[in-house]
Structure formats: structure tokens, C-alpha cells
Amino acid sequence: MSRVYNFSAGPAVLPEEVLREAADEMLDYRGSGMSVMEMSHRSKTYDRIIKEAEQDLRDLMNIPDNYKVLFLQGGASQQFAMIPMNLMKNRKAGYIVTGQWAKKAYQEAQIYGEAIKLASSEDKTFSYIPDCSDLDIPEDVDYVYICENNTIYGTKYKELPNTKGHTLVADVSSCFLSEPVDVSRYGVIYGGVQKNIGPAGVVIVIIREDLITEDTLPGTPTMLKYKIHADNDSLYNTPPAYGIYICGKVFQWLKKMGGLSVMKERNEEKAKILYDFLDQSKLFHGTVVPKDRSLMNVPFVTGNEELDAKFVKEATAAGFVNLKGHRTVGGMRASIYNAMPKEGVEKLVAFMKKFEEENA
Ligand SMILES: *Cc1c(COP(=O)(O)O)cnc(C)c1O
């Protein structure tokens, strides 16, 4: 067996320890005689798995009691519709467009009401986060929406926008559990888990209880109502059971590592190794305004498409895989999520140095 250094943006690297444990439990989960995959989601054994996963997530993020944690399906993209369907009481919401995922959410919201673009960084290919300290926000918007870490472009809000008292809704798919957050500043925090937490198929929604109401837009399908999932503790129908089990293992791993403050330090340390190299390199350079750089997704280019392709090819052969940038931006992108060891980043930088020398 040989494992590569996987820099994929998602689905992405998971802690090896978690994968080994899951492998050990594959055929017989703790004496049950079956895999978690084969188990009723209504069984006592599974109930413990999902309850423990929720509690561990609550502990890690310090989630206040007046927030519900929902384990749903449909990916982050389904939330682009579910959020307006459940929260757009005035049929008006503000969107800050900092990348493709924010733009898709903004476009989807237009199906349901008036989505107002409060700010955008599209003028410079989403390479920065706009100043959101004093936005012009209409009084009657139901919420202000952000994508907190822009997976494709590699930017991250270092400060949350001033929503002027309006509910903040954040897509945190690619920075979920990468650092501590103050949950009470948000109305909704959600993300697909396949970036920084677990296998594709699970989306976690952390939502303040007063936002969960019967009062959804007409025609909202039952499955797309937060209330039905909240009232049934994410077991209204069959949840993505195996995926939740793996997420639970990752939560335990994060707790063992020391929690989110420790993860933040580790992530800062890893990102610094890569950014410091990019800042002095004569061949490679980062594409993002330094103050808005993401700790999770690091895009970079050589400035020469052929050389980019050569780099990706040689890196792959050397065991550094999935470094090709998103198809819409080109170049390279190294996603260095929680589960990417520091050693992986150090070795990548050493490889980049060597490539630079050989291609000077
Ligand atoms: C990947 C990603 C999405 C889309 O996730 P799906 O689960 O594929 O729908 C949305 N937002 C962000 C920030 C992402 O990184």
C-alpha cells in the first residue's frame, strides 16, 4: 500500500487514523456483527453514533444550546435553495459575491425572491474579499449571505461582515473546523463535509432555533424544511448514515488533537510554509491579495500555462496529486485541510524548489 499526498479541494484527504479505524470496524462494528453501512438508522447502536457525533461537534465548536445541528444530504448546493425557502420571509436577502459558490447561491436565491448583491470581488477574478465594514444593506433583508472561505480562489474573510443587525448565513464548506468560530455571530453556518470533515454525502447545518419555523415559502418540499429535520433529530428519513459515522470519527480525532485552537495553529503553520515560499519564489506566485489568503486553499501559478501543466504532471508522478487548479481559473491549487500533515506541505515546497531550479 502506498498513500500519496492528496491536495484535492474535495473530496479530500482524511486522517489516516480515521480510515484505519473505519477499516477495522468495517465487517463488525463493535460486536454488532455488521458494518455501520448495513445497520438500521433506527437501531440503538446507530442512535449512539449520531448522538455522539453531534455532541462532539457541539463540544468542538462550542455550539450554544439555542442552535440545532442538522445532518442532511444534497450537498452544500442544495442549501443554496433551502436557505431562501426557509428564511426569505420578506423575499429579500443580501449576498456578498466572492467566488463561484457565492455566485451560485446568489443566482439560486433569485428564483425565490429579490437577491441583492451587496458587494462583489468579481472585478479582479475574486482575488480579494471586499470591504464589508459599512455595506449599504436594505432594512428589510431577511439575511446576509457569505461564502466564508472561497475554495476555488483561495480567499477567506478574516473579519465577518458588518450585517447591521441582520442574520448572517455562512457557507463554511472549505473552512469547517479549521479554526475556532463564535457560533453566536451567525444565524446559519453550513457546509458540505467532503472538504474538511468527511466523505461526500453529508451536509451539516448549524442553525439558530428561532430561524426554524413552519413559515417557509409556498411549495417548499417537506424534505427541504429545516423544521422537519430539526423536529426529528436528523432522522426524519434515512440520513447519510455511514458518512455521519465517519464525521463522528473525525470529530473525535480533532478532540484528540487538542481541538480547534490547536488546529488553527497547525493550519497557520502549514499555510505559512507554502506562502513564505511563494512570496520569495522567482517562478511561482500566489494569486490572492496577501491579507485575504485562505489557510485551506492555496492557488498559485507560474505565469506560463505550459510550465503549469509540466509542474502538475511531474508533481503527480512524484506523489503530490490533485494540484491542478480549478477548471475555471487554471494554474495550481494546493488544498491543505486539517488532515494534510505538515510534512506533506514541507515536501511539496521542497519539490517546488527543485522544479524552480530545473526550470530557471
Ligand atoms: C464544494 C463547495 C460547494 C459545493 O458543494 P457540493 O456539496 O458539491 O454541493 C459549495 N460551497 C463551497 C464553499 C464549496 O467549497
Residue 270 known to be catalytic? no
Q: Which domains does the chain have, with CATH numbers?
A: 5-12+258-359 (3.90.1150.10), 16-256 (3.40.640.10)
pTM above the 0.85 mark?
yes
Return the residue whose CA atom lies nearest to atom 7 of ligand 1: 75
- Report the pLDDT averaged over residues 25-38: 98
Whether the link from the prior residue into 11 is cis, omega within 30° of 0, is yes
Q: Is the CB of 75 under 6 A from ligand 1?
A: yes
DSSP at 293: B
Q: How far apart are CA 263 and CA 186, in angstroms?
A: 21
The Å distance, Cα 359 to ligand 1 centre, comes to 35
pLDDT tens readout for residues 257-311: 999 999 999 999 999 999 999 999 999 999 999 999 999 999 999 999 999 999 9
Contact between 149 and 129 (Cβ < 8 Å): no
Indicate the pLDDT class of residue 360, thresholds 50, 70 and 90: confident
Residue 28 known to be catalytic? no
Q: How far apart are CA 317 and CA 353, in angstroms?
A: 16
Q: How far apart are CA 85 and CA 316, in angstroms?
A: 43
- Residue 294: per-residue pLDDT: 98
Q: How far apart are CA 20 and CA 251, in angstroms?
A: 15
Return the residue whose CA atom lies nearest to atom 5 of ligand 1: 76
Q: Is the CB of 147 under 6 A from ligand 1?
A: yes
Contact between 7 and 320 (Cβ < 8 Å): yes
Q: Is the pLDDT of residue 210 over 80?
A: yes
The Å distance, Cα 153 to ligand 1 centre, comes to 13
- Residue 2: per-residue pLDDT: 87
Q: Is the pLDDT of residue 213 over 80?
A: yes
